[in-house]
């Protein structure tokens, strides 16, 4: 296997008057969580044991309305956002989500994408495409029902998620990205079957190292399978070579099969942190802004929004939050930081 350094993209100049954080990073990606609820209970995100321990989901009136989200999103775009990803929880659980997508898709030059567990995608794919969604990412951790049940905590047939991926492709949302979180000893045996299934399909399978997001998932370093081991495993059966990133802040490192059967990706937050190019902001479903996936607290924009704050005041608040940002959690992670009281992934968005 030839290993070539691939993080060669250079930062794009953010443009005049756009805010930079304390480490010189600009804002280009906004991830909007539209609900903290989910119909799955993945062990690495929202295990049932944690929910049973009194976790309180938000009430509907606590969530930002679509009008509020659209207003904020427009202000973020003015601050440099080029890509918006809709997340959850499970975003397709939010009623009439297509209406929000339609509003966001009308912003010129902004890419709108969505991450879903795929359970409702077979019915929704056409409507999402019609609303203007550009791309979609589906989480899928195994192809066999037993491992899938073990990972997601629910008895849901894998074939229905696969039908959702097919429907997305047929609706024109291809290539679909498939996210597989890998937990050593839990679903690492599913890596090669997933590779065999998605090779040549036109879709892009990505392997995500199990991360210490939140506190509910009981993360242990020993359960992380480093992505270099994943690549080595795949390369031994289907030789792969690295591909240059498409843009500066790309999270996944891209690889392609040497026989032309398509691309795969690895997201190595634990073993190869990518904070130096992190241009992402996260807006929770109740309107709090988080400058890092591993943050312990957010900055509420909802009160300002609901108490008559002007666009200028909101924009100044957003810029100020970004300009004070010094996050680089994955670069400074230790056994001690893993236990900090961090916000949960299903609340902040993946
Ligand atoms: P595209 O390549 O444009 O499709 O976007 P993406 O790579 O950001 O895809 P996606 O949103 O599916 O992100 C993939 C996964 O990477 C997420 O589900 C997270 O698990 C992880 N991830 C995304 N952003 C960050 C980040 O800022 N920090 C860390 N540590 N992990 C992230
Ligand atoms: N580690 C890595 N990835 C995670 N995701 C959720 N929790 C974790 C975690 N602890 C991923 C899911 C999904 C996206 C929303 O985030 O697989 O693709
Ligand atoms: Fe739900 Fe996604 Fe979290 Fe799984 S990872 S529990 S599908 S929000
Ligand atoms: Fe960005 Fe925080 Fe992830 Fe680093 S750990 S890449 S700063 S979200």
pLDDT tens-digit series, residues 117-167: 999 999 999 999 999 999 999 999 999 999 999 999 999 999 999 999 999
Range name among 3-7, 255-259, 305-309 with the lowest pLDDT average: 3-7
Instruction: Convert the pLDDT of each residue in 250-305 to its tens digit.
Output: 999 999 999 999 999 999 999 999 999 999 999 999 999 999 999 999 999 999 99
Q: Give the pLDDT score at 335.
A: 77
Ligand 2 atom 7: residue of nearest CA: 45
DSSP H helical ranges for 174-213:
191-198
Name the residue ranges covered by the structural domains of the chain: 29-348
Kindly give the distance from the C-alpha atom of residue 44 to the centroid of ligand 2, in angstroms, as a whole number. Answer: 7
Index of the ligand 1 atom closest to the CA of residue 137: 12
Kindly give the distance from the C-alpha atom of residue 310 to the centroid of ligand 1, in angstroms, as a whole number. Answer: 32
pLDDT at residue 6 tops 90: no
Collect contacts of 143-147 with beta carbons under 8 A, ≥24 apart.
143/190, 143/193, 143/194, 143/197, 144/190, 144/193, 147/186, 147/187, 147/189, 147/190
Taking the domain 29-348, which CATH number applies? 3.20.20.70
140 touches ligand 1 (CB under 6 Å): no
Ligand 2 atom 18: residue of nearest CA: 139
pLDDT band with cut points at 50, 70 and 90 for residue 17: confident
Mapped onto helix, strand or coil, the DSSP state of residue 150 is helix
pLDDT band with cut points at 50, 70 and 90 for residue 341: confident
The phi-psi region of residue 262 (left if phi > 0; otherwise alpha if psi is between -120 and 50; otherwise beta) is left
Ligand 2 atom 15: residue of nearest CA: 350
Q: pTM of the prediction?
A: 0.94
Q: Give the pLDDT score at 280.
A: 96
Query: What ranges make up the beta strands (E) of 154-252?
Result: 177-182, 204-209, 240-243
Structure-block tokens of residue 336: 């001690």
329 touches ligand 4 (CB under 6 Å): yes
Q: Give the pLDDT score at 1.
A: 37
Structure-block tokens of residue 273: 């942190």
227 touches ligand 2 (CB under 6 Å): no
The mean per-residue pLDDT over the stretch 36-60 comes to: 86
Instruction: Convert the pLDDT of each residue in 85-128 to its tens digit.
Output: 999 999 999 999 999 999 999 999 999 999 999 999 999 999 99
């Amino acid at each position: 296997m030839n290993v070539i350094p691939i993080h060669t993209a250079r930062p794009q100049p953010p443009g005049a008057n756009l805010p930079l954080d304390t480490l010189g990073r600009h804002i280009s990606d906004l991830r909007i969580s539209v609900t903290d609820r989910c119909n799955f209970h993945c062990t690495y995100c929202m295990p049932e044991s944690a929910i049973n321990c009194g976790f309180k989901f938000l009430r509907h009136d606590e969530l930002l309305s679509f009008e509020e989200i659209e207003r904020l999103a427009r202000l973020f775009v003015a601050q440099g956002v080029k890509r918006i990803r809709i997340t959850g929880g499970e975003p397709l659980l939010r009623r009439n989500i297509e209406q929000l997508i339609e509003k966001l898709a009308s912003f010129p030059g902004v890419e709108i994408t969505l991450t879903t567990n795929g359970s409702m995608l077979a019915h929704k794919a056409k409507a999402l495409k019609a609303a203007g969604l550009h791309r979609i990412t589906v989480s899928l951790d195994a192809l066999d029902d037993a491992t899938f049940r073990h990972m997601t905590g629910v008895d849901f047939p894998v074939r229905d998620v696969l039908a959702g991926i097919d429907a997305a492709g047929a609706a024109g949302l291809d290539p679909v990205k498939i996210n597989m979180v890998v937990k050593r000893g839990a679903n690492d045996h599913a890596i090669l079957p997933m590779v065999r299934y998605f090779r040549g399909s036109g879709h892009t399978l990505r392997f995500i190292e199990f991360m210490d997001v939140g506190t509910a998932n009981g993360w242990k370093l020993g359960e992380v399978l480093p992505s270099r081991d994943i690549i080595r495993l795949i390369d031994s059966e289907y030789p792969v070579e690295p591909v240059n990133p498409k843009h500066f802040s790309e999270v996944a490192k891209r690889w392609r099969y040497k026989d032309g059967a398509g691309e795969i990706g690895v997201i190595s937050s634990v073993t190869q942190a990518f904070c130096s190019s992190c241009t992402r902001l996260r807006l929770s479903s109740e309107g709090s802004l988080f400058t890092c996936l591993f943050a312990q607290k957010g900055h509420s924009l909802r009160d300002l929004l609901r108490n008559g704050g002007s666009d200028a005041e909101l924009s100044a608040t957003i810029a100020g939050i970004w300009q004070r940002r010094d996050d680089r959690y994955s670069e400074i992670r230790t056994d001690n930081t893993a236990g900090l009281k961090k916000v949960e992934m299903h609340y902040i968005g993946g």
